[in-house]
Chains A and B, each alone.
Chain A
Amino acid sequence: SQELEQSPQSLIVQEGKNLTINCTSSKTLYGLYWYKQKYGEGLIFLMMLQKGGEEKSHEKITAKLDEKKQQSSLHITASQPSHAGIYLCGADPGSARQLTFGSGTQLTVLP
């Protein structure tokens, strides 16, 4: 089965700082999803990456998928308190039918 490792497990940064979260798969990814979750709430879709070397940006968040499609990174530029939450990567084995999730990264942004 596919396993996803996320790092770091938790991250505390000062407002305005940049940060990166990594997601590494034990197998080649068909697709990689990034979600954000506030504690006790549902998941908010951020981005989906499918092609090796693909990079997508939305506002101050950029996600990349490496050429081998086994590692993805999520980069936040000039972080704000609104970026705080749990970031989850999810691996798509081939049809979005059964996503496997990473362990999550708890992000705290200090004002």
Chain B
Amino acid sequence: GAVVSQHPSRVICKSGTSVKIECRSLDFQATTMFWYRQFPKQSLMLMATSNEGSKATYEQGVEKDKFLINHASLTLSTLTVTSAHPEDSSFYICSALGINEQFFGPGTRLTVL
């Protein structure tokens, strides 16, 4: 299957700082990418849909000014957690939409101290 990478895999930051997470489709072009959040022992919750060249579509309850998404190219989408707080600590997973399937990245573990 197609390969999607995420960077970094783990990040620890201080409260109030911003953190950028990258999601790359390595062997195909993806006009649509998705960002999910997963709390321990819970399922994946869709945060937003990222469309190349246009604004992201956020799910209800997700602050767009808090979680900035940029999909500047067909192979890269970034999620920036601005002014991070401990409650933002979570596992963030991206996926890239192929023809009929989503391909998932390995996830990024964010810990905010």
Contact = CB atoms under 8 A, between A and B. Distances in A.
B101 A96 contact: yes
B54 interface: no
Interface in A87-111: 88, 96-104, 106
Interface string B85-102: 000000101010100111
Q: Which residue, of A45, A48, A96, A102, has the highest number of chain B Cβ atoms within 10 A?
A: A96
Interface in B13-43: 32, 34, 41-43
A59 interface: no
Given A41-B107, A42-B93, A42-B107, A96 B46 contact: no
A101 B38 CA distance: 11
Contacts of B97: 96-97
Contact of B43 (A42, A45, A97, A101): A101
Contacts of B106: 41-42
A103 B43 CA distance: 5
Contacts, number: 50
B43 A88 contact: yes
A21 B49 CA distance: 29
Interface residues of A, number: 19
A45 B1 contact: yes
Q: Which residue, of B46, B91, B102, has the highest number of chain A Cβ atoms within 10 A?
A: B102
A43 interface: yes
A101 B102 CA distance: 13
9 contacts: A33-B101, A40-B109, A42-B6, A43-B104, A48-B100, A96-B100, A96-B102, A97-B49, A99-B46
Interface of A: 33, 35, 40-43, 45, 48, 88, 96-104, 106
Top-5 shortest CB links A-B: A42-B106, A43-B104, A101-B43, A101-B44, A42-B104
